[in-house]
Each structure stands twice: as C-alpha cells, then as structure tokens.
Amino acid sequence: MESKPLVFRQKNGLTQYALACGYIQRVEATVAGRNIRIDLWHEGACYHARAHDFTESGRLSWVSEESLTDARAQWEALVWEHFGEALREVAKDARYSYRREFHGEQDPSYVARFEGEWCGKSETVVGAMMQAYTHKVGRI
C-alpha cells in the first residue's frame, strides 16, 4: 500500500498538518516606517492570529480561535487592516505577478516576480504580494 505524501501548503496557506507540526504562517513588511509582522500558528487546542509592531507599540492584536477556518479569517482581517493600502498599491502594478510554482521544495509556494524576475516567495498570495511591495519600495 502506497502512502500519500505529506502536504504542508495549500492555496490558502499552510495546512492544518503543517501548523500542528509547528510551522508558522507569517507575513511581515515595513510599511510607513513600521515593521509589522502578522502570524498564524497552532498551539494546544487553538489557533492564534497575532499582529505585532516591532517599531513602536508592540503587540497590536491577538485573537485565538478553536477552528482553523475562523483563525484564517482573523489572520486575513489583520493582514488587510495593517497591509491593505500596500496590497492595493502593488495589485494595481501590472509588472508584478504572483503564481504558485515549484522551486526546489516539495510543495509549491506563491512566487512574486517583477517583469519575470524573482522578488520572493510565500505560503500565501498575500505574502507574495508583500514581497513585491518590499521590492517596489526598494526600487524607489
């Protein structure tokens, strides 16, 4: 009997298995001079979504949920609350693309490219978009 390979990533981020193994779904960037990180992780019987500002105020928000679906929704809401303006800015720029690609790892990731050249990768399309935003800011 052949076993199925373990899957750590899916279209909406890390799988339940990956989170249970200790992986952390993370998006971080410097926006408007503030170094912000938003995490999703599993601990014990619940999932946590947390936003943290490493420049000024410390923890911005921390939400715990029993279901992964609810925790993903909270994580996504935090991402749009803190990075929404940057995401909208880079989404308008047609020179950037975000595709799921295999790139030497077992599972595909979202890869951000600027006119075909590598900018970065992430477990989520939002994370790839933030990689593109960091690239765009670095070009200015």
pTM: 0.79
Q: What is the pLDDT of residue 48?
A: 97
The model's pLDDT over 91-138, given as tens digits with 9 standing for 90+, comes to 999 999 999 888 877 778 889 999 999 998 888 888 889 889 989 888
Q: Enter the DSSP assignment of 99.
A: E
Hey, is 138 helix, strand or coil? helix
Pairing relationship of beta strands 25-31 and 13-14 according to DSSP bridges: unpaired
For residues 132 and 119, give the distance between their C-alpha atoms in angstroms, rounded to a whole number: 6
Question: For position 63, what pLDDT does the model report?
Answer: 95
The pLDDT of residue 93 is: 92
Segments making up each domain of the chain, as ranges: 13-139
The 10s digit of each residue's pLDDT in 17-29 is 999 999 999 988 8
Euclidean distance between CA atoms 5 and 104, whole angstroms: 16
- The 10s digit of each residue's pLDDT in 21-52 is 999 999 888 888 889 999 999 998 899 999 99
- HSE-CB at 36 with a 13 A cutoff on CA atoms is 21
Q: Is the predicted pLDDT of residue 7 greater than 90, yes or no?
A: no
Whole-angstrom Cα distance, residue 58 to residue 121? 26
Strands 34-43 vs 46-53: parallel, antiparallel or unpaired: antiparallel
Task: Please check whether residue 50 is in contact with residue 63, taking contact to mean a CB–CB distance below 8 angstroms.
Answer: yes
Q: Which two tokens stand for residue 118?
A: 């590598």
pLDDT at 140: 66
DSSP conformational letter for 65: E
Cα separation, 112 vs 91, in Å, equals 11
